[in-house]
Amino acid sequence: MKRSDPRLIVRPAPFLKSAMTTQQAMLDVLYALIPVIGVSLWCFGLGAILVLAATVIGALLTERLFSPASQRIPLRMDVSTLVTGLLLGVTLPPALPLWMAFVGGAAAIGLGKLVWGGLGQNLFNPALVGRAFLMAAFPTAMTTWTPYQGPEGLFTVYSSNLAVPLMNSAFDGVTAATPLALIKFQHETPPLYPLLMGNIPGSLGETSGLLILAGGVYLLLRQVIDWRILMGLLGSVAILSGSLYLLDSAHYPNPLTALLSGGLLFGAVFMATDPVTSPITPKGALFFGVGVGFLVVLIRGFGGYPEGVMYAILLMNAATPLIERITQPRAFGRGGDT
């Protein structure tokens, strides 16, 4: 090698890279969440945004404090943790005490991700682990819903939001039943239109079916989420709840209501499609989606809770390694369907 030659970097082929990066995929999820967050401000006021801020701070702080230094991603690039915090936040009741939201964010990252070995290693969806943790720790606060506020209540901060940690505080006078609770306990069918628009009681980002679907379409177009999971899930819920409705329309909601109510759409678009905790194989993804849908209908129809999306997804997360094992793709030229 002559002195005049440039210093050449030797690194392996290929030398071309597709434009999509993991950072970009995370950012896409963030963009898809923005309308959902916007609607929660509109429906439930500033208190909802404070809950989101508390989960995000809890998540980011836990990541900073407890992730091994060798794996730590610089804060400005750490969209993944931010997304986990936000995903947890939008599944919480708007009037949740902020300190609980903070603990939930910490649990999501700590128990949902870091103990497994960090990004990409966890078996369960971290945001849902955080939510399940809160559900077990604070069952009353997690199931106390506030009514739709509308633009007049834009700056509402619920007094329960500001509850002092570990002190039992009374909740605001006004509470409201979610559509799913109405179905389950009063056997009333809520009207469809509010389910689309979001002006109903519920978790702060799960109420507007329309905006969640818009986010889902964006993520599908960007190929960030797998259509097989989404379609498998929505399809199986539609078919199974449809069959139940046909059998007994007094007790069970019609399939459209079943699809639009509760956390189903949000769970289908943002939670079940988490690539880390769903099967990587195409067949497995479809299987996974159908499984989640089946469990949702089962829990909603026959379980003790009005809503079952969270546990359905967590249960299928646990089944993911097994699903993958039996759905490995058939290699090219290795028998099968040719």
Partner 1 sequence: MRHRFSHGVHPQQNKELTVDLPIQRVPFVGRYVLPLDQHLGAPAQATVNVGERVRRGQRIARPGGFVSTALHSPVTGKVMAIEPRRAPGGKFSPSIEIHADPFATQRLTPNPPIDWLSLTLEEFIHHIQWAGIVGLGGAAFPSHVKYSMPEGKKIEYLLINGAECEPYLTNDHRLMLERPDALLQGIAIVKRKLGAKRAIIGIETNKPGAIDTLRAQIKRIHKVDVMPLPVKYPQGAERMLIKAVFGYELPATKLPRDIGIAVNNVSSLVAIADYFGSGLPLIERIITVSGSGVTYPANLIVPIGTPLREVLRFCGGLREATKSVIMGGPMMGQPIGSLDIPIVKGTSGILAFTEKEASTTFELPCIRCGRCLAACPHFLNPSRLGRLAKARRFDEMRAYRLTDCVECGACSYACPSEIPLVQLIRTAKRESHQR
Distance between CA 74 and CA 64 in Å, rounded? 9
Distance between CA 133 and CA 113 in Å, rounded? 13
Binding of partner 1 by 20 (CB under 8 A): yes
Binding of partner 1 by 6 (CB under 8 A): yes
Binding of partner 1 by 243 (CB under 8 A): no
Looking at 3, 16, 68, 304, which residue binds partner 1 (CB under 8 A)? 16
Q: How far is the CB of 328 from partner 1 (least distance, A)?
A: 6
> Which residue number, 64 or 187, has a Cβ lying nearer to partner 1?
64
Binding of partner 1 by 247 (CB under 8 A): no
> Which residue number, 47 or 118, has a Cβ lying nearer to partner 1?
118
DSSP summary character for residue 110? H
Binding of partner 1 by 302 (CB under 8 A): no
CA angle, residues 273, 50, 94, in degrees to nearest 5: 65
Residue 285 to residues 13, 265, 328, Cα–Cα distance (Å)? 30, 17, 11
> Which residue number, 124 or 158, has a Cβ lying nearer to partner 1?
124
Binding of partner 1 by 68 (CB under 8 A): no
Binding of partner 1 by 221 (CB under 8 A): no
Buried (b) or exposed (e) across 266-289, using 16+ Cβ within 10 A?
bbbbbbbbbebbbbebebbbbbbb
Would you give the binding string for partner 1 spanning residues 127-166, x where CB under 8 A is met?
A: ----------------------------------------
Collect all residues with Cβ–Cβ distance below 8 Å to 23 and sequence separation of at least 6: 77, 79
Residues 249-268 that bind partner 1 (CB under 8 A): none
Distance between CA 38 and CA 302 in Å, rounded? 34
Collect all residues with Cβ–Cβ distance below 8 Å to 111 and sequence separation of at least 6: 129, 130, 133
Chain length of the chain:
338
Binding of partner 1 by 18 (CB under 8 A): yes
Distance between CA 36 and CA 198 in Å, rounded? 10
> Which residue number, 25 or 142, has a Cβ lying nearer to partner 1?
25
Looking at 34, 72, 115, 120, which residue binds partner 1 (CB under 8 A)? 120
Query: Is the separation of the CB atoms in 74 and 23 below 8 Å?
Result: no
Site size for partner 1, by CB under 8 A?
45
Binding of partner 1 by 25 (CB under 8 A): yes
Query: Is the separation of the CB atoms in 42 and 35 below 8 Å?
Result: no
Binding of partner 1 by 186 (CB under 8 A): no
Looking at 3, 11, 250, 304, which residue binds partner 1 (CB under 8 A)? 11
Residues 100-119 that bind partner 1 (CB under 8 A): 118-119
Give the distance, in angstroms, between the CA of residue 10 and the centroid of all CA atoms in the same chain.
42
Distance between CA 114 and CA 106 in Å, rounded? 10
Binding of partner 1 by 333 (CB under 8 A): yes
Would you tell me which residues interact with partner 1 (CB under 8 A)?
A: 1-2, 5-6, 8-18, 20-25, 71, 73, 118-121, 224, 226, 275-276, 278, 280-282, 285, 328-335, 338
